[in-house]
């Protein structure tokens, strides 16, 4: 048997690695080469039951642990993550195909930031309720109580970041979690569990199961699960929400988008092009908040395209561990085929004008090392003169495909930007801040930017509108998604208000 670069990934519960009893396994693939890198053992229903039982058993004690003590443990985990940043980032690079220049600067760091944020929030009284004096002799008070054993289900584009954005507020609030990573990017998951354990998180508080949609579906319908936090496609999210609703489980849904990047007529063109590039080619376009519908005022379209074509030369595919590389392959073969089919559709069916790239093999591959020739590499692609009715403009491609849409008036662009069932993100580029605020206020999206694109700090709550999601992650509001309210009214007058008194 050929040995693979990484040890097999299996389950983690009761504070230690556990083997799966399903007998089912799959190979995890390095997207830059299409070669296998690890064996993944999928969980059976009884494996999932065992992981949920572990989370359920750990809940009473963890939820009763003083918030400041939970905070101390989670801060220790954040510091281990930072110490091991480069090692974890290199694993994310192998798993996702994202350049190390990106994973080492963003993926682990933004996860650790959120862990630190929520640990500090609960340690500083962020879970305190209200006290309300009703009358001189009656008080009401409210408490924020943990929900129970929760489930996190992740997508493949930001594996460790998603695992942390879910587990950090979950654990900080006193809940326990069973986490299922995407079957395409599982490597981080058991390592994160080990880090939590090393930091002092008690057994059963953070658990991991591996597998695909069937394992996810079983988790979401599990009767002992109190909440499901899901990141993935809208179509999967609809199934997850429906399944969770059957058991009246709380849900948070972080789903797909087709966001509008609006370049207003007075925008600084260089700045707008930089923003549009980040909104389309960062992570090879595999970012949920991508601004793939780039609305450019007709008066500046020519100049915008000229600067954009210059900047496209700065996209550098190559050795993913080279710090100068800033563009990797797509995550998996099915996703690669999906993105290529959209590029072909743009040319053949939508009849959009191909300005750059397209579905052909990237030229640089011809002179690249043999081992990367079968990787899932595509060309960054720009279509122009696009119309709102085109499929490449309407549907989430989740790859490096930009559509430029010319417009005439601000009223028109706002209406067209909002003409979608999705509402994850949006942004405007302009020198006129008054106009920026007016336009942003009209855009139907949960995450909006002015003169920048993509930054999502721990302090800022993020979540989609319309079909793009339910609820938010991060920021002060993020913790509310992991607690339930208990109100208590205390009567001190010595008399119970009653209508059943003697006449």
**What is the set of active-site residues?**
254
233 binds ligand NAD (CB under 6 A): yes
Q: What is the DSSP letter of 317?
A: B
Rounded to the nearest whole angstrom, what is the least distance from the CB of residue 107 to ligand NAD in the complex?
12
Rounded to the nearest whole angstrom, what is the least distance from the CB of residue 446 to ligand NAD in the complex?
9
Dihedral in degrees, nearest 10, Cα atoms 163, 166, 169, 170: -100
123 binds ligand NAD (CB under 6 A): no
Instruction: Give long-range contacts, CB 8 A cutoff, 24+ apart: 313-320.
Output: 315/281, 315/380, 317/362, 317/364, 317/377, 318/364, 318/368, 320/32, 320/93, 320/97, 320/98, 320/99, 320/100
169 binds ligand NAD (CB under 6 A): no
Rounded to the nearest whole angstrom, what is the least distance from the CB of residue 47 to ligand NAD in the complex?
15
424 binds ligand NAD (CB under 6 A): yes
Dihedral in degrees, nearest 10, Cα atoms 118, 212, 11, 104: -50
- Which alpha helices (DSSP H) does 313-349 contain, by range? 333-348
Question: Which region among 53-61, 178-186, 310-318, 380-388 touches ligand NAD (by CB under 6 A)?
Answer: 178-186
113 binds ligand NAD (CB under 6 A): no
183 binds ligand NAD (CB under 6 A): yes
d(CA 275, CA 389): 24
How many CA atoms lie within 13 Å of 14's alpha carbon, on the beta-carbon side? 8
CA 197 to chain centre: 24
209 binds ligand NAD (CB under 6 A): no
45 binds ligand NAD (CB under 6 A): no
Question: Which region among 86-94, 107-115, 255-263, 401-409 touches ligand NAD (by CB under 6 A)?
Answer: 255-263
C-beta separation of 5 from 38 below 8 A? yes
Four-residue CA torsion sign, 188, 192, 194, 198:
positive
- Which residue among 96, 101, 110, 157 contacts ligand NAD (CB under 6 A)? 157
Question: Which region among 40-48, 195-203, 236-244, 308-316 touches ligand NAD (by CB under 6 A)?
Answer: 236-244
Task: Return the number of the residue (372 or 425) whose C-beta is nearest ligand NAD.
Answer: 425
Task: Return the number of the residue (288 or 479) whose C-beta is nearest ligand NAD.
Answer: 288
Q: What is the DSSP letter of 264?
A: -
The residues with which 208 forms a beta bridge, in sequence order, are 12, 179
- Which residue among 153, 178, 445, 481 contacts ligand NAD (CB under 6 A)? 153
279 binds ligand NAD (CB under 6 A): no
- Which residue among 255, 272, 436, 458 contacts ligand NAD (CB under 6 A)? 255
Cβ neighbours of residue 289 closer than 8 Å, sequence gap 6 or more: 257, 259, 279, 424, 425, 447, 454, 456, 462
d(CA 276, CA 452): 9
Task: Return the number of the residue (384 or 468) whose C-beta is nearest ligand NAD.
Answer: 468
Rounded to the nearest whole angstrom, what is the least distance from the CB of residue 235 to ligand NAD in the complex?
7
CB atoms within 10 A of CB 389: 8
- Which residue among 117, 376, 377, 398 contacts ligand NAD (CB under 6 A)? 398
C-beta separation of 355 from 384 below 8 A? yes
448 binds ligand NAD (CB under 6 A): no
Q: Which residue is nearest to ligand NAD (CB)?
A: 216
Contact residues toward ligand NAD (CB under 6 A) are 153-157, 180, 182-183, 212-213, 216-217, 220, 231-233, 236, 239-240, 254-257, 288, 396, 398, 424, 464, 469
């Amino acid at each position: 048997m050929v040995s693979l670069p990484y040890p097999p990934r299996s389950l983690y519960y009761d504070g230690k690695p556990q083997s799966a009893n399903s007998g089912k396994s799959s190979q995890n693939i390095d997207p830059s080469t299409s070669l296998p890198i690890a064996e993944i053992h999928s969980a059976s229903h009884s494996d999932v039951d065992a992981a949920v039982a572990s989370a359920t058993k750990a809940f009473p004690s963890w939820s009763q642990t003083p918030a400041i003590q939970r905070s101390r443990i989670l801060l220790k985990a954040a510091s281990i993550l930072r110490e091991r940043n480069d090692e974890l980032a290199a694993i994310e690079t192998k798993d996702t195909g994202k350049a190390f220049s990106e994973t080492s600067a963003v993926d682990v760091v933004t996860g650790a930031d959120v862990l630190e944020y929520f640990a500090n929030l609960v340690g500083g009284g962020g879970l305190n309720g209200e006290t309300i004096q009703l009358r001189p002799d009656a008080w009401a008070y409210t408490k924020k109580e943990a929900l129970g054993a929760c489930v996190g289900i992740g997508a493949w584009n930001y594996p460790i970041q998603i695992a942390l954005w879910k587990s950090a507020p979950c654990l900080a609030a006193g809940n326990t979690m069973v986490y299922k990573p995407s079957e395409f990017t599982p490597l981080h998951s058991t390592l994160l569990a080990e880090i939590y354990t090393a930091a002092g998180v008690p057994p059963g508080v953070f658990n991991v199961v591996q597998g695909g949609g069937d394992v996810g579906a079983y988790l979401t319908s599990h009767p002992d699960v109190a909440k499901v936090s899901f990141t993935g496609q809208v179509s999967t999210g609809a199934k997850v929400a429906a399944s969770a609703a059957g058991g009246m489980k709380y849900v948070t849904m972080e789903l797909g988008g087709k966001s509008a990047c609006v370049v207003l007529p007075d925008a600084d063109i260089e700045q707008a092009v930089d923003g549009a590039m980040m909104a389309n080619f960062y992570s090879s376009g595999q970012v949920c908040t991508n601004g793939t519908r780039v609305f450019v005022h007709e008066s500046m379209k020519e100049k915008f395209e000229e600067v954009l074509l210059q900047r496209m030369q700065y996209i550098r595919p190559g050795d993913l561990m080279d710090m100068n590389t800033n563009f990797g392959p797509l995550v998996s073969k099915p996703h690669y085929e999906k993105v290529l089919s959209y590029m072909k559709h743009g040319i053949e069916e939508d009849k959009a004008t191909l300005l750059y790239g397209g579905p052909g093999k990237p030229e640089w591959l011809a002179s690249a090392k043999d081992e990367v020739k079968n990787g899932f590499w595509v060309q960054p692609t720009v279509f122009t003169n696009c119309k709102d009715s085109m499929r490449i403009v309407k549907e989430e491609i989740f790859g490096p495909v930009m559509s430029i849409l010319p417009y005439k008036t601000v009223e028109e662009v706002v209406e067209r930007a909002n003409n979608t069932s999705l509402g994850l993100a949006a942004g405007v580029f302009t020198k006129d801040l008054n106009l920026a605020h007016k336009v942003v206020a009209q855009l139907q999206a949960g995450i909006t930017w002015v003169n920048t694109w993509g930054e999502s700090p721990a302090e800022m709550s993020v979540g989609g509108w319309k079909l793009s999601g339910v609820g938010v992650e991060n920021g002060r509001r993020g913790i509310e998604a992991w607690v339930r309210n208990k109100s208590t009214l205390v009567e001190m007058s010595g008399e119970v208000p009653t209508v059943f008194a003697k006449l």
